Amino acid sequence: MKVVFHDDFHAVYASDPAAAAGRMAAILEVISPRAELVAPQPAPPEAIAAAHDPDHVAWVRSRGLYEIASLAAGGALLAAELGLGEPALGLIRPPGHHASRGSAWGYCYFNNMAVALLELKRRGLLKSALVLDIDLHYGDGTVNILEGRGWVEVYNVEARAREPYLEEVARVLEGCQAGLIAISAGFDMAKDDWGNLLLAEDYRRIGQLACQTAQRNRGGCCAILEGGYNHAILGHNVLALMQGMGGE
């Protein structure tokens, strides 16, 4: 599977768990045999401006994080664009789903998913999308930026037990007609991570359900990395999601 990654994502750009040393290497070590790496360009300034207020962009710039944050947004954009044709993963950081139009928290700076979908929509490549957020934390930023637009639905899975969680994902996808299923793929709901709930086989199942839905809709499927902090298991869960997306 095509995996969007840039060596700059190895950089420790902040002192938070999403930026921790070795996090990306831990994922790459596991997924490398199955991953065809593709390097992104930074998201163009106009694409970032479509999702964020100028004051927020200036705030990111003032922290010296514009380059890495715009590269992550560009990674999401490339993953989503690739995803229109075949399942694709954006292995990017910093994460984005807590970045709203005018503010950000929770290790996020630019909302990678929102930048990507708004830009694909502007280019006329996207009819409709479902953002399926499987991170432990509610993706408030994605909702803030994308809510109220008729062509995109943002869904945060709420169940906090395994079976109900997978049933909820299946239910949402069953009724989904969107042309692109875009997974905000946080892995901090994993067993032995902060949420301590989902197993690798569950990530595989989520990937299967998402891409089966995309096939049914004659559409696309992509995932971009959000949270996930236990380096010992993170790569295995990312691989499981990829395998599910690939129909395994």
The distance of closest approach from Cβ of residue 186 to Zn ion in the complex, given in angstroms and rounded to an integer, is 4
Closer residue to Zn ion in complex, CB, 91/136:
136
Angle at alpha carbon of residue 142, lines to 141 and 144, rounded to 5°: 60
CB of 188 to Zn ion, least distance (A): 4
Structure tokens at 29: 């070590």
Under rule CB under 5 A, residue 188 binds Zn ion = yes
Nearer to Zn ion, 40 or 186 (CB): 186
| Residue 132 vs 178, nearer CB to Zn ion | 132
What is d(CA 191, CA 168) in angstroms, rounded to the nearest whole number?
18
- Nearer CB in complex with Zn ion: 135/153: 135
Min separation Cβ 227 and Zn ion, Å: 3
Instruction: Name residues whose C-beta falls within 8 Å of residue 215's C-beta, 6 or more positions apart in sequence.
Output: none
Characterize the bridge pairing of strands 220-225 and 152-156: unpaired
- CA torsion, points 106, 129, 209, 34, in degrees to nearest 10? -70
Q: Alpha-carbon distance 27 to 23, whole Å?
A: 7
Total residues in contact with Zn ion, by rule CB under 5 A? 6
* Cα 79-85-89 angle, rounded to 5 deg: 25
Q: Is 202 in the site for Zn ion (CB under 5 A)?
A: no
Contact track, Zn ion, 121-150, x by CB under 5 A: --------------xxx-------------
The least distance separating Zn ion from the CB of residue 139, rounded to whole angstroms, comes to 9
* Contacting Zn ion within 82-111 (CB under 5 A): none
Q: Could you say whether residue 23 binds Zn ion (CB under 5 A)?
A: no
SS3 168: helix
Q: Which positions lie near Zn ion, rule CB under 5 A?
A: 135-137, 186, 188, 227
